[in-house]
Structure 1
Amino acid sequence: MRIRTRSAVLTTAAAALLLPSALPAAAQADDARLLGSYVVPHELRVGGTPVGGLSSIDHDRRSGDFVLVSDDWSDYAPARYYRATIAVTERGIEDVDFTEVHQFRRPDGRTYPTIDTWRDEQHRVPKAARNALGTVDPEELRVDPLTGAVAWTNEGQRNIPPDGSAAGTVLMDPALRISTREGRYVRDLPTAPNEKMTTGGTGPRVNETFEGLTYTRDGSQLVSALEGPLEQDGPSANADHGAFSRITVHDRSGRPVAQYAYPVEPLFAEPQPPNEWNTNGISSLLAGDEPDSFLALERGYASGVGTKGRIYEFSTAGADDVLNRHSLADGDFRPVRKELVADLDELGLPYTDNVEGLSWGPRLPTGERVLLVVSDNNFSPHQQTQLIAIAVR
């Protein structure tokens, strides 16, 4: 789907070279409007599990309901995803009902352990099996439109004790995983060689790996997105400059066939006080109507300031394939073109929490499409699980 906007379009390598400093500010799109929002009760439990940490949302075309994954590392309950019915009309979100919970299973049928349990277990497991059997940090989940199975991402982990001891080290590659509707393990998909976890210096940054995942509309390809840049691609985005993330296109078997550079915006504000924790990157990826068209949810957080969510449409058409480029630091390539769809702060929301998931909803009688956004409350009583409905042309 092409959405008319008034934002700046990044089209050339010259634009890429602007990233070490701030990118031009994008104007708010005029074809997006807020329908309404809904806050999930913090104390809600389904199947004995606390509903929280929701980091993605997707519409299951087969059943008509929605699926939402929790990024719980099995700390509050075993790693899992939920199903819910969400009634959205031109009046907003009228009702939300969480109906099912499905726990993810390892190849041996057990649920996934906490990271502390896995640190003790892993040395008793053959190295080749550690990724599939280890702990998980789920981030994005999509329903396969052709089979009804679920594809989901595991961010992986690089946890090295200060003393560098091998006994306490957890080194686990980010993963793209297929499970049945009920959560049973099917297989892991291949990932690009440059997206394997290392002990540092190259490869993905911890907590900036597979945040985005989507099937193309016809289901012929699966597309993944790193939240932030690889170590060799330059520093993460901050208030002074943006960064380049990588978007990888996989065929149905999971084989990476192309990779593109996506320009992440600079952080919206300086953290307060300066040098406190801050981040901006891709937190969700969603297919558009065309094979090369996608939406990206960029989520920024500045300590002491708050959170900002911005939705962009981008196209891989005309962008250079960087699958075999070791580094993007020189900027000598054409990135994807992107346009602003909506800045959540400009839609009239009184508050924006830690937005992490993006899904299509129904088409309205006006001809507009609904975008649904979900926020991750980090299981904190001071944060909210928000569902936000936006109408776009």
Structure 2
Amino acid sequence: MKLSLIPRASVAALALVAAMAPAVAAQASGTPARPGPAVSSAAVNVRLLGEKIVPRGLTFQDTTVGGLSGIDRDPCTGQYVVISDDRSNLQPARFYTAKIRVDGAGVHSVDFTGTHPFLQPDGSVYPPASAGDGKVVDPEEVRVDPLSCRYWWAQEGDRPTSPGQPLIQPSIQFAGRSGAYHGQLPLPPNYVYTTGDRGLRRNKAVEAITFGDKNRVLTSAVEGPLLQDGPEPTVEHGALVRVTRQNRKGDVLGQFAYPLERIFAESDPSSPWPADTGVPSILAFPGDPGRYLVLERTWVAGSGYKIRVYDATTRGATEVRGVDSLAGRKIVPMRKKLVADFDKLGLSTVDNTEGMTWGPTLPNGEHTLVLVSDDNFADDGVTQVVALGIRTS
């Protein structure tokens, strides 16, 4: 997601946080709901390994490095693939490859090694929105297919805000390693923009995808609640966002409601910008179907960013693919536990973190989690690579 302002958030001392999030009681059928199971009997322990700030305005192969909103480790090379959410305004919509050296002592270097534009079916690059031809894309997430090492990438499309603007549907596309178009995954029927009061909210579409269940399943999450699923979060209440499991042909295997946290503070009344929150990334646990790390990113004018990572599961959650509207319905949402709050990790800054991936496993058995922030190409934005060590015991 592209934000217009990037204030700084406060930084606190290192700490681990783990707490069950409150559940929404009951089932969509209207029958009494049973409490969902705990996420896992195993505790997740997290420690900060380190961080690295990429120089602002860095140029690489005649492109501006920025807007990095998704990241994945390439099992074929050991390098990382990072997607930029530039809507072809600066240079054509694109991705980068990078060597990121991470170990138990920190993030030692971030070196970009290549970049390619994503191509349309006819082999051309995507035009900027100013072209007015309705072909603009909003890249947000990238995953490397563990079976083919091709790239799967999600883009949010666009819902018009005024007459005459084109409606551009979101998509999950397949690309070759040089960006060539190889097709796309059929999306669930409710993952669309409409001209009415149903479907996706603008800038709150498909922004999170991950492979799981032995690489047979692609799970996606929309960033915010569907229009018919109720209002967006406020300081008083959270919201439910849809998480969908599909096979590689696009068949929907299940859809569930993830409980998004309420806004953590009131906005500065002098700001013209409302608070913004959502799910920009989701990451499957290896070998544990239905279990995910979920990234929540919130920005509040005058308070800055709140970045949190949760351990969540679909087990015991109500299947909602056949539920048109979640508003007022009694369901059991996905259960979650707070794993990391960036305010409490001792980072130099907390910014617009939107991408995460599993990194290498350390000699002591810890998994590494590598995250990247989107600087919005703003003068006060930060491209920050953070590495965490995660141990399940």
TM-score relative to the length of structure 1? 0.88
C-alpha contact 1:189 1:255 (8 A) present in aligned 2: no
| Map of 1:195 onto structure 2 | 191
| Map of 1:185 onto structure 2 | 181
Structure 1, gaps ≥5 residues long: 18-28, 123-133
**Structure possessing the higher relative contact order (Cα contacts under 8 Å, 6 or more residues apart):** 2
| Map of 1:313 onto structure 2 | 311
Pick the aligned partner of 1:204 from 200, 207, 219: 200
Structure 1 residues 353 and 5, CA gap change in structure 2 (3 angstroms) = closer
* Paired amino acid for 2:19: S
| Map of 2:232 onto structure 1 | 236
Structure 2, gaps ≥5 residues long: 1-15, 31-42
Offset, 1:140: 0.5
1:286 corresponds to 2:283: yes
Alpha-carbon RMSD across the aligned residues, in angstroms, is 1.9
C-alpha contact 1:13 1:331 (8 A) present in aligned 2: no
Post-superposition Cα deviations, 1:28-78, rounded to whole Å, max 9, x if no partner, equal: x98211111100011322221111000011111111100100000000100
Offset, 1:373: 1.0
Distance 1:93 1:382 in 2: 22
Distance 1:379 1:239 in 2: 28
Post-superposition Cα deviations, 1:242-281, rounded to whole Å, max 9, x if no partner, equal: 0000001110112222110000001111111277411111
C-alpha contact 1:5 1:30 (8 A) present in aligned 2: no
C-alpha contact 2:17 2:341 (8 A) present in aligned 1: no
Q: Give the structure with the larger helix fraction.
A: 1
* Paired amino acid for 1:84: A
| Map of 2:352 onto structure 1 | 354
Offset, 1:302: 0.2
C-alpha contact 1:37 1:93 (8 A) present in aligned 2: yes
| Map of 2:267 onto structure 1 | 271
Distance 1:234 1:99 in 2: 44
| Map of 1:93 onto structure 2 | 107
* Paired amino acid for 1:210: V
Q: 1:388 is paired with a residue of what secondary structure?
A: strand
Distance 2:193 2:277 in 1: 21
Structure 1 residues 346 and 182, CA gap change in structure 2 (3 angstroms) = same
| Map of 2:156 onto structure 1 | 155
| Map of 2:60 onto structure 1 | 46
| Map of 1:297 onto structure 2 | 295
Equivalent residues, number: 361
C-alpha contact 1:160 1:170 (8 A) present in aligned 2: no
Q: 2:72 is paired with a residue of what secondary structure?
A: strand
Superposed counterparts of 1:1-393, under 5 Å: 6-10=18-22, 13-14=25-26, 31-117=45-131, 119=132, 121-122=133-134, 134-161=135-162, 164=163, 168-216=164-212, 218-273=214-269, 276-289=273-286, 290-393=288-391
Distance 1:41 1:344 in 2: 21
Which piece of structure 1 moves more, 328-337 or 377-386? 328-337
C-alpha contact 2:247 2:253 (8 A) present in aligned 1: yes
